[in-house]
Amino acid sequence: MAQTSQSSPPVGAARGRYHHYIPRFILRNFAADDQPPPGPVKFDKKGKAMKNRDPYINVVNLTTGIPEQRLVSKQYGLTSMYCDENCGEPEEVEEQLSRLEGRAAQIIAKVKKLFAEEPDGVLTLTRSERNDLRRFLFVMKYRNSNFYQRYNHDTIEDYTTHDKERMRDYMMERGFRSPRDVWLDNLRAFMDIEMDMTLQWTRDIMQRAYGDDAKMFIAHAQQSFLAFCRPEDEDEEFLLTANAYGIFEGPSSSLIDADTGLTAGGIRTEWHNFAPVSPTLMIVLRSNFLPGGKTGTLGISLYQQLKNRHSHPDEAGSALQDLPVKCCTPVYNDSLGDRVNEISDPGDMSDKDIFEFHCFPLPSRHVSLINTVMLEETSQTEYFSFKTRSTAIKTLTTYLERDDGAFKKFSGEQDPRYAGFKRLNHALHRLGGSTTAKCSVTRPLQTHMTEWVSMVVGMTIYEEKPRLRQRYEELSRSGSLENYQIDLDQVSRMLFLHIKLDAWMSRIALLHKRRLRIRTSLLHVFDQLPRQRGWLYLKCLRNLRNFDEDDFYRMSRGLELEGPEDVLPGGLLKWVRG
């Protein structure tokens, strides 16, 4: 699941306007029921009394755990967020965002009005309205999640994400001076691109924006479906956290650079993304690959494949797999002018197509799970908001008492997430609630040395050594990451058996020839496995000595990745003799 932080303003940015990363038209939906007494009445130019358009919102200050009330105009924003000293037109992005937010506000107002008056009614959106809503939700994610913090640097040297070299090359190619320039240009691209029905836009955006983020935009628009949800119980509400639009529900398997301790890439699967619209309305983007999704029976196979990409596939499923939502119903015009729900030729799609949505009532268990996912990711944010105090107490109590083992797992009391957990407990008491909070505090999970070595060696080859990666593909006749990870897992088991065998032989009296015959027998067994595994096994075995035995996360020297197996034909035994 995503972890994001409330970011600081742009480095070196001049003092300017306050920019909301959660728009005011959404924040007003969470305005507190108990507003402070109004101040002096203000009048417009015609002498008419003006309505108070700047209400207060209930927030919990997560640096102190203290509930507060803050003005909507001063909450969930940053100063000069879209302005950079290097950008030529500092107001351009802000103006584009204003136009997009205006269209999104009209669509969301339509959604709220219909489902407030007819909870079981049918919402009709045009193709352009649906696309605008999807675009808006992605932009909210892109500016409100860890992307802003990731890009908020003056130079590439300060950029610490695993794609640093790709980013450096992209900046040099396009003439950008800072990662922040890339972020601003990407925002423009995502708001400018015309999402045509032929999907030409998916090719155009790859040329217009930074490739990694362009792929994410395509996946956001094409690999999930929109669903509107409301609590079935009228006494329940959705929370709003500072990083709500950047949170996803799904597994993450990160790789750590042994030299720097920084994240060096990894895999994440976003089963669900969330967009709180009001305390009683949530937009959920649900992966098409979950069972029962738009991919049909094929989705079951794809779902398992996506799980298998992670280091612990059995734990990589979705906690919200049984969320009771469905895809919208498309309504097309066929060649005879009739309205139909299915067409055989994608060329028959048109701008006149419409999409019918329902608002799905969620049982308490699912509302609680969504709020739990939100609260799990508050440790690095400053605020979360609620509408009603009594409901906030109930929501926090449910989260803090949850004891299913799936959440609130901390790797020691120094884990910053554990400190966030304690602040939430403190906030509950300040709100007037009380409970016995439960969590799991353990020592950091220990990985066997062979798992770590195979992962570091394997992913270094895959991501940084194109010639060696090509050699693997020649041997395996496959370049898929899924197969590569399966091979690495098997190689770690081969190394484990090798080490255990050596440890056993060291404890008993054996002649050197006998030891050699045992090791050769082991190689004969390994030589029956696919050749690419023998190739990877030698790479990892050669590098075992480069990792500190007492602290194998630390390397004593650089990796040695070249060897006779790269040029000699044959299998493991021939490579060893060569």
Lookup: tokens for 415: 């884990």
443-487: pLDDT as tens digits: 544 456 777 788 888 888 887 888 898 889 888 887 777 788 888
pLDDT for 14 equals 40
Tell me the average pLDDT across 248-257. 72
Beta strand residue intervals within 451-535, DSSP E: none
pTM of the full structure: 0.72
- Residue 563 has what pLDDT? 87
Quick one: pLDDT band at residue 258, thresholds 50, 70, 90? very low
Residue 466 to residues 463, 479, 488, 531, Cα–Cα distance (Å)? 7, 11, 17, 19
In this prediction, residues 27-46 reach a mean pLDDT of 78
In contact, 386 and 256? CB cutoff 8 Å: no
Q: Are the CB atoms for 171 and 156 separated by under 8 Å?
A: yes
Give the C-alpha separation, 346 to 340, whole Å: 13
Q: Which residue has the tokens 């799980």?
A: 307
Residue 552 has pLDDT above 60, yes or no: no
Supply the mean pLDDT for the chain. Answer: 83
Q: If you average pLDDT over residues 228-235, what whole number do you get?
A: 95
Closest CA to 227 of 129, 296, 307, 326: 326
- Higher-confidence residue of 338 and 21: namely 21
pLDDT digits (tens, 9 = 90+) for 363-408: 999 999 999 999 999 887 888 999 999 999 999 999 999 988 889 8
CB atoms within 10 A of CB 68: 14
Mean pLDDT lowest among 67-71, 89-93, 573-577 = 89-93
pLDDT value for 11 = 45
Cβ neighbours for 54, distance < 8 A, ≥ 6 positions apart: 71, 72, 73
What's the CA dihedral at 236, 122, 345, 325 to 10 degrees? 20
Rg, Å, the chain Cα set: 27
For 267-276, what is the mean pLDDT? Answer: 92
Residue spans of the domains in the chain: they are: 18-387, 449-577
Q: How confident is the model at residue 57 (pLDDT cuts 50, 70, 90)?
A: very high
The reported pLDDT for the residue numbered 13 is: 43
Does the pLDDT value for residue 264 go beyond 50?
Answer: no
Q: Residue 50: its pLDDT value, please?
A: 62
- Residue 214 pLDDT more than 60? yes
Average pLDDT of the segment spanning 193-213: 93
- Residues 85-102 pLDDT 10s: 555 555 788 889 999 999
What value does the mean pLDDT take over residues 109-134?
A: 95
> What's the pLDDT at 556?
60
Question: For residues 549 and 333, which has the higher predicted lDDT (pLDDT)?
Answer: 333
Residue 65 has pLDDT above 50, yes or no: yes
Amino acid at 5: S
Block residue for tokens 């498309």: 330
DSSP state string for 415-468: -HHHHHHHHHHHHHHHHT-------EE-PPPPPPHHHHHHHHHHHHHHHH-HHH
Distance CA 337, CA 347 (A): 14
Sequence letter at residue 19: H
- Determine the pLDDT at residue 295: 56
φ/ψ (deg, to 5) at 240: -125, 115
Residue pLDDT, tens place only, 283-326? 999 999 887 666 555 556 678 888 877 777 888 899 999 999 99
Q: Please report, for residues 240, 322, 413, the alpha-carbon distance to residue 405 in angstroms, rounded to integers and kept in the order given.
A: 24, 19, 17
> How many C-beta atoms surround the C-beta of residue 88 within 10 A?
6
Q: What is the pLDDT of residue 89?
A: 58
Count of residues in the chain: 578
